[in-house]
A and B are shown apart, each in its own frame.
Chain A
Amino acid sequence: MHLLYDIFVSPFAQMVGAPDLLVQTLWDGLVSGVLYALIALGFVLIFKASGVFNFAQGIMVVFAALTLVGLYQHGVPAYAALALTLVVMLVLAFGVERLMLRPLVNQPEIILFMATFGLTYFLIGLGELIFGGDPKVMIASQLGLPSGSYRVTVARGFVQLQKIDIAAAIIASIMVVGLGVLFNRTRIGRALRAVADSHKAALSVGISLEQIWVIVWFAAGVVALATGIMWGARSDVSFALEIIALKALPVLILGGFTSIPGAIIGGLIIGVGEKLGDFYWGPLVGGGIESWFAYVIALVFLLFRPQGLFGERIIERL
């Protein structure tokens, strides 16, 4: 009986009793959700273009952030370092297309997937070789990102809105919308969808696979850089950032691997859901449930919508 009370009554009583904490939890969840959506988009873009789950997305976050900070530490001004990092990510996209994807056209998808493992370890080795394993401080203020917080009174308490979180939410939202428009409303987007359906069919109507791959890998690189800056500003820039990419997995389970709106809505649901779950129900089991609670949310959704939030129902006739 006591357990039922703890599960079904007490959390809601807490929400009503301390609305400031509820608003704070929702805000934190939304900020995390937007960032998760951004990471998930990196996966979705590449999956849509090549049918590959890019295992290297996490290390791309680290590599982009380390390049930015590393260049700055070598005396390159912050904005120039940002621009140069984008160039590096473009070079990486070309390199991936030329050296990894092009030789593997029409190979089974599992081969491409394994190749992204190779890319991951290559980037880990290269990153450590160039930048070392020491953690670095993100150059957030040098990039003009705000620090400090706003304190907003809610009921008898307060909600603390970190300026960096607001900036992160705005930048991530702009990027999410921008990428959504680019891939849904432009010629590139149509070409991307064609490539996703069939490499051979896309080639037969004159779509350049190479060009599309470079574009999506570059877009994934830009997403990785933005993710690295935002998460790096919250702690430090180190190889631990790679783990952050795993946060996108429940988002992908929920939103589907091919849906840009799915990544966005999925990110928000997971972000808010895991924060609410951890904060209100976590203490029942000793806390620390955030990492797996996200998967519980995703799996519960799948019970009702096995095709994911925006996925199409697949009917196969026997």
Chain B
Amino acid sequence: MRLKRLVLGAAVAGLVGVSVPATQAVAQDSLFVPLFTYRTGPFANSGIPIANGMHDYLAMLNARDGGIGGVKLNIQECETGYNDAKGVECYDSVKGKNPLVVNPYSTGITLALIPKASVDHIPVLSMAYGLSASAVGADFPWIFNPPDTYWDGMSIALKYIAEKEGGFAKLKGKTIGFIFLDVGYGREPIPLLNDFAKDYGFNVKMYPVPPSQMQSQGSVWLSVRRDRPDWMIMWGWGAMNPTAVTEAARTGYPMNHFIGVWWSGSEGDARPAGEAAKGYLSLNFNAVGANYPAIKDIEKYVIAKGQSQTPKDQIGENFYNRGVMNAVVIAEAIRNAQRITHKKVIDGADMRRGLETLQISEQRWKQIGLPEFAAPIHVTCQDHNGHGSVYVQQWTGKGWAKVSGWITPVKEKVIPLLYDAAKDYISKNQPWPKRTEPCDDKTL
């Protein structure tokens, strides 16, 4: 009897800890938007604010506008813990419920879902993460990764460094260190980095950080001290980020020569290192701060009414705004799909068309209530990414300050490589379905 009680307790305890799949019924007259999130586990520090931002913006549209085009959004979260297997479980649990789009929020999960998307007719939106080559719309009609690929990000980081050093030619003989989470995400930009190194004659030092070593990077940074790279670029996530910033500061590495990708630039990444993190740089493509009409509406319609898990001091922080931006992309694609299909209640195939012709101009950002929040987004059948502009921000000790203008990726370098990589991916994943989906904007 006692053993039975214990086992029951353990099972209940397990249920508290593990993911809760979306099980609610999906009404036919709603727009089902599942959000794959992670509020638990080693990557929760990065996952929570993004989950909050995504949820709050969509919930605000429901509360303020009654949804999109008069149809309520059915928002359901599925906890992945940033675990590939759990992410696929989440996908399987929602795919029969007419999801408009899935947001894996993990490159690993995205890679697992890419082959499934075209079979199940569910678009995958991997906003500035995932497989860079999936930007090639002719080969990946169901995958979208605006506003930038990781290769764009790497080219921008290198462009920024080159600008500080006096041009790409001045990089010859320099050493650039690359510290990365040793998973699919962290390894993704390596081909482009090596390609630039070959072209411009700089050396690359690799510093992989396995997930189990995220909080124990002492020897990595000792290697950095030995190798003395002129610049460090980081592709970190979760607990890896604050540890790396702290260790860099402890090692005495010049923080203004240390640049993180856009996923290594939350307040929580820099804050634990305190004053010592001052000067740390990161790429960003969304604004930071809460002084936007749309975010004020979130506060009014969602947070003030207790319909959010967001702590007040998190509103307007970088990753919260990142989540808001992700939700804007979803919402605008739904609006676009409704417009081009003349339907109020759309399905995944309609959403794919909405994503494939998505345009968020400067004017539209303003209309949404987020003026100058991000660079314009321009997706076409041919280009599922847009290769938008990114800026560099710097940690002041208290928050982020924008320290550059909008920087465009080195497209002439990135795009041909993307096409090669797409071909390579397809050749390795035969038989790969040939695109049969019509193109609304006639770019294909």
Contacts and interface: CB of A to CB of B under 8 A. Distances in A.
Tell me if chain B binds chain A. Answer: yes
A91 to B, nearest CB: 17
B3 interface: yes
Interface stretch (A99-107, A296-304, A310-318): A99-107
A129 interface: yes
Contact of B219 (A28, A132, A239): A28
Interface of A: 18, 21, 24-25, 28, 32, 99-100, 103-104, 107, 111, 114-115, 117-122, 124-126, 128-129, 132-135, 137-138, 149, 160, 162, 231, 234-236, 238-244, 246-247, 274-275, 278-279, 282-283, 286-288, 290-291
Contacts of A235: 214-215, 239, 242-243, 246, 272
Contact of A288 (B6, B40, B213, B215): B213
Given A100-B6, A133-B40, A239-B41, 7 more contacts: A111-B3, A135-B268, A234-B215, A236-B239, A236-B268, A278-B219, A287-B208
A174 B6 CA distance: 37
A124 B271 contact: no
Contact of B208 (A126, A246, A288): A288
Interface string B1-17: 01101110111011111
A28 B221 CA distance: 11
B321 interface: no
B140 interface: no
Summarize B's interface: helix, strand, loop or mixed: helix
Contacts of A278: 219-220, 223
A310 B39 CA distance: 42
Contact of B218 (A28, A125, A291): A28
A118 B13 contact: yes
7 contacts: A115-B10, A117-B10, A235-B242, A236-B243, A236-B272, A238-B44, A243-B214
B351 to A, nearest CB: 30
Contacts of A121: 10, 13-14, 16-18
Contacts of A238: 42, 44-45, 239
A125 B79 CA distance: 13
Given A32-B218, A243-B42, A160 B250 contact: yes
Contacts of A25: 219, 222
Given A21-B222, A135-B45, A243 B272 contact: no
Contacts of A242: 42
A98 B247 CA distance: 42
Given A121-B10, A243-B215, A126 B207 contact: no
B397 interface: no
A104 B3 contact: yes
A124 B40 contact: yes
A302 to B, nearest CB: 21
Contacts of B215: 231, 234-235, 240-241, 243-244
B251 interface: yes
Given A21-B222, A247-B216, A125 B13 contact: yes
Nearest to B226: A21
A242 B239 CA distance: 11
B250 A162 contact: yes
A129 B40 contact: no
Interface in B224-282: 225-226, 238-239, 242-243, 246-247, 250-252, 268, 271-272
Nearest to B38: A133
B40 A128 contact: yes
Contacts of B14: 118, 121
A12 to B, nearest CB: 15
Contacts of A234: 215-216, 243, 246-247
A125 B272 contact: no
A239 B40 contact: yes
Contacts of A244: 215-216
A160 B251 contact: yes
A134 B48 contact: yes
Contacts of B238: 240
A133 B44 contact: yes
Nearest to A115: B6
B154 interface: no
Contacts of A129: 16
Given A32-B218, A236-B45, A283 B223 contact: yes
A240 B210 contact: no
Contacts of B376: none
A124 B16 contact: yes
